[in-house]
Chain A
Amino acid sequence: MRNYENVIYAYIIMLLLIICVGLFQSWSIALTILNYCLISAVMTIGANIQWGYAGLINFGIMGYTALGGLAVVLVSVDPVKKAWQVGGLNILGSIWIIVAIVFITRFILKRFEKSLIRNYSIAFLIIAGVILIRVTATPGIEAIESVDPAVSGFLGGMGLPVLMSWIIGALLAGALAFIVGKIALGLRADYLAIATLLIAEIIVSIIKHEEWLARGVKNVIGLKRPAPYEVELQKTQWFRDFIEKIYSNKLELINTIAQKKIVLNQLIIDASSIFVKLCFTSLFLSVVIILLIVTQKALYSPWGRKMRAIRDNEEAASAMGKNIVKEHLFIFILGSAIVGLAGAMMVTNDGLFTPGSYRPMRYTFVIWVMVIVGGTGNNFGAILGGFVVWFLWVEAAPISLFLIDLFTAHLPETNMIRSHLVESAPYFRFLLIGIGLLLIMRYRPQGIIPEKIIKQ
């Protein structure tokens, strides 16, 4: 039980920190941080499955996150009928061409011996295919993008409930991971890192530049949510009564009715935003808890022992008759699917899809820092890492601003160094995260909560 005590203390400290933010800054900010912490926790569970369970280094987290986000748009947005009419056929046609190219390439690869002619014919096939796709798709894309370019200009989605998109996001990310895994999993560890990093970059630039798909850098706003909208909540009677009841003591102190009404309205507006965030929190928390239970069960199942065996000694596991390639592929798909789910959750939480904001710094490397800091191979550790690092990432700027003020208090406001430091306060988060990572790697390489093997 001693080990569990440490875990519980770590989580309590983390919760206290978030409560501190609520007390000193505002509850709304605290809940936003908590929601993002939970989303990060899902991402770290995914990354931890790949890295901690199987030792696969996946620097392509950004790509799967973006794909999960794309799923929200494709599933929940209502279809743009006009766009489908003007350009749907061209798009479907080009998709069929892509499928055909893939199958013909596979056929050639299987049917013919390895030779120069085979390579050239595949290259020729792909180039011809790209030209054919451009010829078919270009008029369609132009037509679609000219349908109300200010608000739509894309094909839209399927108009399904938004929670469906979480599953679809996971499936899409898993499908991508299957392709990437087939291509890259045979590579040495650091090659794999570079290859996945670059493939994620390809995915994001496709999402960014194919405006018929999800408006690209023009962003999709006003996505559906699984929680009520603030404005509607403020009009609902039971919510108004509820708030009035909670704050009845405070309201009684105010004398005039007009004054009372103004105060009450303000309270309701504040409370509605907190209520919506709490809805999201409970949704995210249930996802995290379900994932945690499942991954914990998996970790201590025969399957988990097999994965650890493969991670620790591939050759021995292979000698015992385990199919390493297959297991690696499976775990790669599983981890990526969870990351895709997190991507969908994040876009749902934001209510908007901004492909331009997907950058490897924020969506790959920070997530990796979370896994390393928290504790590789331990789900509790990975989740804690997600909480700690995200908290630091958000709160680094206010903290560093406070410290800068403290240390430069003796300098006048107009001092060049002081104003320069205040200006660059947002960048101290990189410094903090970087130094934190280096210190953890050096002095506690197993993370805050290390992996522990229960002997059975």
Chain B
Amino acid sequence: MDFLNAIILLFNFTVIPALAYGSQLALGAIFVTLIYAVLRFANFATGDMMSFGTMFAVILTYYFQSLGIGLGVLPTALLTIPFAILMMILYMLIIDKFVFSYYRVKKSPPVQFAMVSVGVMFVTQAIIRIIIGPSDRRFLDGEKFIIKATEFKEMTGLAEGITLKSTQAITITVTLIVVSIMFWFLNRTKTGTSMRAYSDNEDLALLSGIDPKRVVLITWVIAGILATIGGVLYGLDKSYRPFVYFNNMLPIFAAAIVGGIGNPYGAFFGGYVIAFAEILLTYSYKKFVAYLLPSSLEPNSLMQLLSTDYKFVVSFSILVIVLLIRPSGIFKGKTI
């Protein structure tokens, strides 16, 4: 019984949150990696682009709520995602037309692209703050919990309960659906294949009649979908705050590189690696150990490897270690 309690405890406080957080990171990391593979630059505006899409979802959620439109038990934000995606894609295409395309035609070095994306980051941040302001916003409505700890305890008679927030369940399901559709698209459709060809060898792809403009357009469309969904899911799970989204860019980059930048499977996997590492290394194992050991050996300390303040440090250290040992990432990077 104690063993079961220990497992449930660990599951509740580490596995479920890590799966949800990892899904959010994974969506962002695939976004980074796609841009890197097809358009060939590290996009420093990642976090702010996700924030931009989420902003529309937040505004539309408030609008729909005022109209009385909702999804019942599900959050209204899910209804607004398609509209937010449209706005996001539109914004990305405008940015691409006026900013990135010039450097793409000129075949500028990646560093120049990175600096340009910093400029885009500044502008996007300004637009977001001017439209919605820098404050913290919650836009979750509908049912909050799927399983409550107390109900679970009553049902099973265990001392530890499992809490499953609806946002966590939604995050994991939506991520799985989106990512599988995307992988199917990349691997099974003709457009997806042409994107992979373009990423592998641009000149050869052009030679075989692939339209580069179309590839770039499709990449931004997929990127817009991923960015918006990732951002909205994160905002639903925690809350929407522009500054936090900018900071999220860092673990997202870490996830993309750890998985092998340019490789969507790697990015997907990397998101979970980062999330699990962050949560497992900063979790206090005191109660867990107490269940497993006889009561005479109960530990006094918190049994915590690192304090929770160092959540971000964990993911960045993993990145540094990966860069040192295997710079191409866990999966071999730089092709999709």
A interface residues with partner B (beta carbon < 8 Å): 55, 57, 119, 127, 130-131, 134-135, 138, 183-184, 186-191, 193-195, 197-199, 201-202, 205-206, 208-209, 361, 365, 368-369, 372, 421, 423-424, 427-435, 437-438, 441-442, 445
Contacts and interface: CB of A to CB of B under 8 A. Distances in A.
Contact of B309 (A186, A195, A199, A208): A208
Contacts of A194: 42, 253, 257, 319
Interface in B304-328: 305-307, 309-310, 312-313, 316-317, 319-320, 323-325, 327
Interface residues of B, number: 48
Given A198-B254, A368-B118, A427-B129, A183 B320 contact: yes
Contacts of A138: 301
Contacts of B42: 190-191, 193-194
B176 interface: no
B111 interface: yes
B123 A430 contact: yes
Interface of B: 41-42, 99, 102, 109-116, 118-127, 129-130, 133-134, 246, 250, 253-254, 257, 261, 301, 305-307, 309-310, 312-313, 316-317, 319-320, 323-325, 327
A183 B126 CA distance: 34
A195 B253 CA distance: 9
Given A209-B310, A423-B133, A434-B123, A189 B111 contact: yes
B320 A198 contact: yes
Nearest to A203: B313
29 contacts: A135-B301, A183-B323, A183-B324, A189-B110, A190-B41, A191-B323, A193-B111, A201-B312, A201-B313, A202-B312, A202-B317, A205-B313, A208-B309, A209-B307, A209-B309, A361-B246, A368-B118, A421-B130, A424-B133, A429-B126, A430-B126, A431-B122, A431-B126, A431-B130, A433-B122, A434-B126, A437-B115, A438-B123, A441-B112
Contacts of A201: 250, 312-313, 316
Contacts of A424: 129-130, 133
Contact of B119 (A134, A183, A208, A437): A437
A437 B325 contact: no
B307 A428 contact: no
Contacts of B261: 191
A365 B118 contact: yes
A365 B312 contact: no
A438 B320 contact: no
Contacts of B301: 135, 138
Given A188-B110, A189-B109, A195-B320, 17 more contacts: A55-B111, A130-B305, A186-B327, A189-B110, A194-B42, A201-B313, A201-B316, A205-B309, A369-B119, A424-B130, A427-B130, A430-B126, A431-B126, A434-B125, A438-B123, A441-B112, A445-B112
